[in-house]
Amino acid sequence: MAVLIRVLFPLLASVLLALAPPARAALEENEVKAAVVYHLSLFADWPPGSLREGSFNLCVLTENEGMADALSRLGGKTVKGVHLVVWRKRPMLDLGICQMVYLGEMSEGARGRVIAQLAGQPVLTIANGGIPIPGAMVSLGVSGERVYFDIDLPVVQRGGLRLDAKLLRLARSVVK
């Protein structure tokens, strides 16, 4: 048994160490993305009457559990002076309470339906795709260690939202 421990432990340790960096990188990427989602909410303005009193609702639609966890940890922060509440949603469910919707890993069909459903609504739609997702107001992508975002201004304007000019300057691309 002692021998087994003496042989196996270094082995196990080395395997764990070999596995760790990619796992940690994925973990950090989720955290950074979650922070970006949160910060995007800070540089957006909703039309009057579209914000509820008491809470600001972020609805999360993703099959990536790690990302969902990272986003859920945003709960309790404040947006526009009210508490941020994070909701885990399934596609096709009612998204009427959401002010902001995160569209993560999911089938393109489901994503397209959700986007269609929210079209013209004062709901900030943030899609995670690496490329600009048609119909999403903001699309996130990762390049190296940096998270970037693209903005589709016509979609934003159709939803009645306004984005801070400083945000537009930071975007990788803006569709006008």
Partner 1 sequence: MTRMRAPDHRRGWDRLNWLSTALALGIATLLLISSESATLHEDFQHRLATQASLVAANSAAAVVFQDKISARDNLAALSLAPEILSARIVLPDGTLFAGYEKAGASEKSPFWAGWIGLDRIEYQRGLDVENTEVANIHLIADLTPLRARILGFVAVVLGAGLLALLAAHILMARLRRAMRRAEDDMVHMAHYDALTGLPNRAFFETHTDQVLARTTQAALLFFDLDNFKVVNDSLGHPVGDQLLKAVAAQLGLVVRQTDNLSRLGGDEFTLLVVGAGHHQASSVAEHVIQALHHPFTIDGHELSIGASIGIALFPEDGDNVDKLLRSADSALYAAKAAGKHTWRFFSAEMDQQARDRLALEAGLRRALDRGELRMLYQPIVDLGTGRHIGFEALMRWTSPELGEVSPSVFIPVAEETGLIHAFGAFALREACAQARRWLEEGRGEVVVSVNVSARQFHGHGLVDSVRQTLRETGLPPSHLDLEITETALMGAEREVIDILNELHGLGVSLSLDDFGVGYASLSQLKRLPIHKLKIDRSFVMDIPRDSDDAAIITAIVGMAEALGLSVVAEGVETLEQQAFLASLGCRRGQGYLFGKPEPAA
Residues that bind partner 1 (CB under 8 A): 35-36, 39, 42-43, 77-79, 146, 164, 166-167, 169-170
> Least distance in Å: CB of 149 to partner 1?
8
> Least distance in Å: CB of 140 to partner 1?
11
Q: Angle of helix 2-42 relative to helix 65-72, nearest 10 degrees?
A: 60
Burial class (CB in 10 A: 0-12, 13-18, 19+), 159: buried
Q: Which is nearer to partner 1, 59 or 84 (CB)?
A: 84
- Rounded alpha-carbon distances, angstroms, from residue 71 to 37, 98, 109: 8, 14, 23
Q: Which is nearer to partner 1, 114 or 163 (CB)?
A: 163
Q: Which is nearer to partner 1, 106 or 126 (CB)?
A: 126
Q: Which is nearer to partner 1, 171 or 175 (CB)?
A: 171
Nearest to 159 by CA among 81, 40, 33, 46: 46
Quick one: CA dihedral 126, 49, 165, 73, positive or negative?
negative
> Least distance in Å: CB of 165 to partner 1?
9
> Least distance in Å: CB of 170 to partner 1?
5
